[in-house]
Amino acid sequence: MANKAINRSDFEKTLRLYLKQAREKLDGDLSGTREAIKLIAADKTRSFIEITDRGLSKDEREFLKSLIISSMRYSFCYGYGIGKFEGNTNERVYL
C-alpha cells in the first residue's frame, strides 16, 4: 500500500513538472500555437453568437473568449504532459 502511495506521489510530481514545461513552451517556443488558440477562441465566440442568435456585450465576448482560451491552454498542457509521461514510461495513462 505504501508503494502505491509513493508511485502516485512520483506520478503527480512528474505530471506537475510536465504541465509547467508545457506552459513555458506555450509562452516561449510555441507562441504561434498560443496565438492560434486566441484566433480559434475568437472564431468560436463569433460562432456562439451566430448560433444562439444573441448579442453579447464587449465584456461578455471577452469573458467567453478568455474562458475558451484558458480551457484550450489547460487541454494542451495536460495533453502534452500525459503524452510526455507515456513516452517516458511506455505505458498508457488513464485519468
Amino acid 36: pLDDT: 93
Task: Name the domain count of the chain.
Answer: 1
Residue 78 within a domain: yes
Residue 30 within a domain: no
- Which string of b and e fits 1-37 if b means at least 16 CB within 10 Å? eeeeeeeeeeeeeebeebbeebbebbeeebeeebeeb
Amino acid 4: pLDDT: 60
Residue 82 within a domain: yes
pTM of the model: 0.74
Q: Give me the residues of the chain with pLDDT under 70, please.
A: 1-6, 94-95
Amino acid 2: pLDDT: 53
Amino acid 5: pLDDT: 57
Q: Which domain holds residue 79?
A: 57-86
Residue 68 within a domain: yes
